[in-house]
Amino acid sequence: MKRIIEMKFPAMVNNYGETPKDLQLSWVNDNLSSLQKKLETVKRLLTQPVDNARFNEAINAIYFIIDKLPLMVTRLNVGTHIFRARPNYGKLYSKKQDISYNIENVDKISAGRFNRPLEPLFYGSLRVNNPKIDPVLHCSLEACKQLKDQINPPAIQDLTIGCWINKGLLPVINLSFDEKHLAGNADLRQATDNFKAKTDKFFSPAASKFIFKFMEFFSELACSVNKDESSYFIMNAYLFAIRYYYANERNTAIPGVIYPSAMTDNHGLNMVLVPQAVDYFLELQYVYMQRFFLPKGSKTYISYPCSELIKVADEKFNFARVRPYILNGEVVDYGLTHNKYN
């Protein structure tokens, strides 16, 4: 298996779309069958057991395609807020690294939507101008999927919510081609329509159709509720191929992907970033704790803030007041017995 690519920053690319190097437009128009075979390879691997040989085969197939096709690259504006939550499980957090990507217990990292086992990545949620989506609820559901467990949901769950801010023009691949998401995200809809118009202008109708077929395949996979490791394995290969391609062929970096949120029925917008991008672009500004309480006999959580809002200083913060609760007949106060919550 190839090594993880170390990205160098800053590295910028075109705004909404990256055309293939040397503008290989005629090649794409004349060789669609080769591209289609590569996509069929990826689809075949989606149904097969996961191993290193198949992982590399998926990377090579995706790499071949993205070397020939334009990808929709966008930049997150300076000042964009990213929300990320972490369940407390009875513990108070006190520093940025506690609620960022996991580097302290790498051996406990299992395969995720974009990360391989033992690979730390940063998953966050972006604010969208959609009344159906609250950013706190969105990032909480992403961090604690048990909140949607219909069989054995937690009776009470505290989460530490971090509000991060983007400090630079952060380039990411857009995989948000889901119609349900685009219907509630006017800005991304406009950007997607502009990208499609440019694609239709430069490529044949058949080639343009394939380009969006390729993108929609991965968009659907990214926002689906994955039921087995094969879907994770293909998305892992996708991000790896993206990172490897831009580092190897362009001497630049595309350090992340935006994609619709499966936990919010695709209405929310998620982002995944490599650790280097988090360290370079993001700053943790504020933290607080949010509580989810499930009344007995109910299927609907009551949610409310259970701590003060804290401004982070020098990547550290200190919770002095947290509302206690009773669980199994015992008071849970996080050891803050001398600090009454008002």
Q: What sign results for the dihedral spanned by CA atoms 44, 48, 54, 55?
A: positive
Segment 111-123 shows an average pLDDT of 93
Vertex 224, ends 221 and 225: CA angle to 5°? 135
Is the model more confident about 124 or about 4?
A: 124
Above 70 in pLDDT, residue 178? Answer: yes
Q: Are 197 and 72 in contact (CB under 8 A)?
A: no
Same domain, 155 and 190: no
**Residues 284, 227 share a domain:** no
Asked if pLDDT for residue 1 goes beyond 60, the answer is no
> Does 4 reside within a domain?
no
Please tell me whether residues 239 and 93 are part of one structural domain.
Answer: no
Domain that holds residue 123: 76-168+278-317
Residue 15 lies in a domain: no
Q: How confident is the model at residue 338 (pLDDT cuts 50, 70, 90)?
A: low
- Give the pLDDT score at 227: 57
What is the amino acid identity at position 271?
Answer: M
Measured N-to-C along each axis, helices 229-249 and 52-66 cross at an angle, to the nearest 10 degrees, of: 50
Asked whether residue 326 is domain-assigned, the answer is no
56 with 112, same domain? no
Write down the H helix ranges in 149-185: 179-183
pLDDT at 129 over 90: no
pLDDT, residue 256, reads 96
Cα 263-78-242 angle, rounded to 5 deg: 60
My answer on whether 31 and 58 are in the same domain is yes
* Residue 160 within a domain: yes
Q: Taking residues 273-302, what's their average pLDDT?
A: 96
Q: Is residue 273 part of a domain?
A: no
Same domain (yes/no): 117, 134: yes
Q: Is the confidence at residue 2, as pLDDT, over 50? A: no
- What pLDDT score does 34 carry? 95
> pLDDT tens-digit profile of 67-108?
999 899 999 999 999 999 999 998 999 999 999 999 999 999
Nearest CA-CA partner of 261 in 156, 108, 134: 134
Average pLDDT, the chain: 88
Looking at residue 126, the DSSP 8-state letter turns out to be E
User: Of the given ranges (3-17, 160-174, 314-328), which has the lowest mean pLDDT?
Assistant: 3-17
Q: Is residue 238 part of a domain?
A: yes
Q: Which amino acid does the sequence have at 7?
A: M
> How many other CB atoms are there within 10 angstroms of residue 229's CB atom?
14
Burial group, residue 241, by CB count within 10 angstroms (0-12, 13-18, 19+):
buried
User: Do residues 232 and 293 both lie within one domain?
Assistant: no
**Residues 234-275 pLDDT 10s:** 999 999 999 999 988 888 889 999 999 999 989 999 999 999
Please give the structure tokens belonging to residue 48.
Answer: 């097969």
What is the count of structural domains for the chain?
2
Using CA atoms, how far residue 234 sits from 4, 54, 112, 200, in Å, is 16, 10, 11, 28
Amino acid at 135: P
On whether residue 46 sits in a domain, the answer given is yes
pTM over 0.95: no
In this predicted structure, what is the pLDDT of residue 193?
92
- Candidate ranges 128-132, 246-250, 306-310; pick with highest mean pLDDT: 306-310
Tokens 């219909």 sit on residue: 150
Residue 17 tokens read as 């779309």
Mean pLDDT of 110-131: 91
pLDDT at residue 9, rounded to an integer: 37
The per-residue pLDDT for 139 is 96
What average pLDDT does this structure show over 23-48? 88
Q: Give residue 250's pLDDT.
A: 84
DSSP single-letter state for residue 110: P
Within this chain, do residues 157 and 177 fall inside the same structural domain, yes or no? Answer: no
Q: Residue 8's pLDDT band (boundaries 50, 70, 90)?
A: very low
Q: Do 189 and 66 reside in the same domain of the chain? A: yes
178 and 164 in a common domain? no
- What average pLDDT does range 95-124 have in this prediction? 94
The per-residue pLDDT for 337 is 67
> Would you state the pLDDT for residue 180?
87
174 has pLDDT over 50: yes
Query: What was the pLDDT predicted at 341?
Result: 58
70 and 194 share a domain? yes
Least confident of 21-30, 225-234, 239-248: 21-30
In this prediction, residue 158 carries a pLDDT of 98
220 and 206 fall within a common domain: yes
CA distance readout (Å), 286 to 96, 99, 229, 304: 10, 12, 35, 17
Q: Which long-range contacts (CB under 8 A, 24 or more apart) does 193-196 make?
A: 194/16, 195/16, 195/17, 195/70, 195/72
Whether 337 is covered by a domain: the verdict is no
Strands (E), the chain: 73-76, 81-87, 122-126, 156-166, 170-174, 256-260, 269-273, 282-293, 302-305, 310-311, 325-327, 330-332
325: left (phi over 0), alpha (psi -120 to 50) or beta: beta
CA distance 212 to 218: 10
